[in-house]
Structure 1
Amino acid sequence: MEKKVVYIAGLGLIGASLALGIKRAHPNLTILGYNRSEASRIIALERGMVDQVTDDFASFAPIADVIILALPIKQTKSYLDILARLPLKDQVLVTDVGSTKAEIVAHADQVFQDQAVRFVGGHPMAGSHKTGAAAADETLFENAYYIFTPSSQTKAGSIENLKELLSGLRSRFIEINAEEHDRVTSQISHFPHLLATTLVEQAVAYGEEHPLANRFAAGGFRDMTRIAESEPGMWTSILLSNPHAILERIADFKERLDQVAETIQADNQEAIWTFFYEGRKHRQEMQIHQPAGRDSAYHLFIDVPDKEGVILEILQLLQGISLVNIHINEENREDIHGILQLTFRQAEDQKRAQELIQKATSYTVLAR
């Protein structure tokens, strides 16, 4: 890739990880960074994520060939306004990373109208419960969907330019309409976060009268509510920037719950069985088992004895295999298959680890 200047505004988890991924494929590019927090600016410089940093957003924008706004949704819109007033390079390429797209794309079309600016809406569908530049990870976007939502400002070749720039992320690039993006993500991303948080709040309230509910919360509850730990400010912005689609999903879910309640009240054993059977069948048919980002994880559950050194024994067997996470399930084993849970990003790593453990030990190993 020819020598370019890339300007990343926002050096949090997403922006800093983008910088690392871009550097991996294009080490000779100049990457400039903006962040209000001095701590993130220092980390980004010290780890070589960026070549220069600033706390004045407007200062680097005029010299950039590509500008990436890795900012919250509302802030992204205000920074688009700032860019529209600056003397930017001719045909500068501007993109964002917002989790909703229609509002941002419409705003960009408005502010850049009749300007020599190429805008492409962007949404890398990956993340972590960690935040800030300190949590940056060049592998964060591997196998994740990276969605582009074209606008009237998306000139010919713009998306191809972005794909080349972001090739080091090793993502799965896809283009869709901004409105359709928001409808789809309301179902598979936004509503699940809302549901997870509601489930946690319900359990907490229930636990006031039944304290054992919190202690007995096992694998199913844990897996369903993990995303309730996400950053509140980000999800407030997401809900308020995509309200119609999300409200429609809530109404639809209420109707489905009412149908289940009616089936239980009617003591309809056949209908209840069909409900669970269809749910299992449909989930097995979904593409969620294919590699598509951080949430497409591969787990091993290992039934290990409670003795000193057993975890170290397992980890020594897996030297050279990339692990995403290690979890020790101590309290409740109702619906998990082992006390030691290992998580991998690639199915090949999971398979290799299972083979090694089964060959070297007598422990029961279950892949999920």
Structure 2
Amino acid sequence: MTEVFINGLGLIGSSLARAIKQKDSQIKIVAADLNQHALEYAKKQKIIDEAVGSLRNAATADFIILATPVDQIIKSLHQLSKLSLKSGTIITDVGSTKQQIVAAAKTLPTQVTFISGHPMAGSHKTGVTAGRANLFENAFYFIVAPNASQVAIVKLQNLLQQLHVKWLELTPEQHDRLVGQISHLPHIIAAALVNQTQQAFINSPLGMRMAAGGFKSITRIAAADPTMWSAILQTNATIIADQLRAYQAELTKIRQAILVADQKTIYNFFASAKVSRDQLGPEKIGGLPGFYDLFINIPDRVGSIADVTRILAVKKINLVNLHILEIREEIDGILQLTFMNEKSRAAAKKILNEQHYQVITRK
């Protein structure tokens, strides 16, 4: 019987456990967590088979999954290096940075294989009760395994097959620079904007109450867990500091242009951003698998979104994601529908047009 040990039963860890059980209920899942209530819940819901006190109970596992904050993952790797682990055990993690984690894994005994991982999906909800087996469906799952064999990587991918993710292999440096720019830096910017806006309206409570629409959309990620993000920034400090410096240079440039009324520079600032923003998306970057979007004008009334999803469900058209781009009183909202392929998008466009929805296709 295959035994999987999971250290950390929060959103990510419990979602992985659910997916593993969904793939094969005979796989034994043993878990440890500082939160005793999380362990009791997981055991009661049959998400795990056994709850234990610490990593010391991982010695018999075939797979060990470290699903805690990044700083704790590093400590766990050092702890595992001192244990007598089963030969052939595959150890993986779900941390948001990689260079320090991969460096810490070098202390592991030679009879085990370390494959670092990072699923690029999550939720604003946290904890074991928020986990679900399809949390990562259609998301990228980064693999960082400079010293692992392809056979071992395939074994891990088979274990996590029920996640239905898109695997992508990177080096530790590639990973940290990539996620630094597209994830870590935006989180810092969003938090800074919220903090600065709070100070700007400190004597005007109406200001924060009116902060909706675009402001609320671009600062959504500022609601992330501060404990997790403190750990992430500590383990990607050099790269993030460089990216922050480059971002500050952009702000300084546009600030100076505004002060001297340099309209050409101001125009180019926005024009360049628009061109780059319009080119975002997997279909623009070579062979990476892509998503396909439809944008629909819908009235701001109860049941509008449910009606759209019902129409697609009746026709058995698979919807990967939906997102409300803008909802304001007395105007139509824009609903973004995302599909996995062009065939599904085309079918959805046809049926929604037939139902008299205004459908817009954008690349």
TM tier relative to shorter chain:
0.7 to 0.9
Aligned to 1:52: 50
With over 3 angstroms needed to count, the CA separation of the structure-2 counterparts of 1:286 and 1:298, relative to structure 1, is closer
Relative contact order, CA 8 A, sep 6+: which one is greater? 1
Shift in Å, 1:39: 2.5
Tell whether 2:129 aligns with 1:134. yes
Amino acid at match of 1:253: Y
1:122 match: secondary structure = strand
The aligned length equals: 355
Distance (whole Å) between structure 2 residues aligned to residue 212 and residue 310 of structure 1: 30
Does the 8 Å contact 2:92/2:117 carry over to 1? yes
TM-score w.r.t. the length of structure 1 is: 0.84
Aligned to 1:23: 21
Does the 8 Å contact 2:300/2:328 carry over to 1? no
The aligned runs of 1:217-236 (5 Å cut-off) are 217-236=211-230
Of 11, 18, 26, which aligns to 1:13?
Answer: 11
> Structure 2 unaligned runs (5+)?
286-290
Deviations 1:156-213 (A, max 9, x none): 6222221222222111112221122112211111110000111111111122245443
Aligned to 1:121: 116
2:4 match: secondary structure = strand
Tell whether 2:190 aligns with 1:196. yes
With over 3 angstroms needed to count, the CA separation of the structure-2 counterparts of 1:10 and 1:195, relative to structure 1, is same
1:63 match: secondary structure = coil
Of 98, 102, 107, which aligns to 1:105?
Answer: 102
TM-score w.r.t. the length of structure 2 is: 0.85
Distance (whole Å) between structure 2 residues aligned to residue 115 and residue 251 of structure 1: 40
2:202 match: secondary structure = helix
Shift in Å, 1:237: 0.2
Of 60, 73, 77, which aligns to 2:74?
Answer: 77
Of 146, 168, 172, which aligns to 2:141?
Answer: 146
Distance (whole Å) between structure 2 residues aligned to residue 121 and residue 132 of structure 1: 22
Deviations 1:136-161 (A, max 9, x none): 12121122221121244x35622222
> Structure 1 unaligned runs (5+)?
none
Aligned to 2:231: 237
Aligned to 2:2: 4
Tell whether 2:88 aligns with 1:91. yes
Tell whether 2:249 aligns with 1:255. yes
Deviations 1:270-292 (A, max 9, x none): 3322222211111222335789x
* Greater mean deviation of Cα atoms: 122-131 or 315-324: 315-324
With over 3 angstroms needed to count, the CA separation of the structure-2 counterparts of 1:136 and 1:195, relative to structure 1, is same
With over 3 angstroms needed to count, the CA separation of the structure-2 counterparts of 1:36 and 1:17, relative to structure 1, is same
The aligned runs of 1:231-310 (5 Å cut-off) are 231-287=225-281, 300-304=295-299, 306=301
Shift in Å, 1:7: 1.2
Distance (whole Å) between structure 2 residues aligned to residue 173 and residue 260 of structure 1: 39
Does the 8 Å contact 2:138/2:320 carry over to 1? no
User: How large is the Cα RMSD of the aligned pairs?
Assistant: 3.2
2:76 match: secondary structure = helix
Give the % identical residues.
33
With over 3 angstroms needed to count, the CA separation of the structure-2 counterparts of 1:229 and 1:301, relative to structure 1, is farther
Distance (whole Å) between structure 1 residues aligned to residue 351 and residue 205 of structure 2: 41
Aligned to 2:288: none
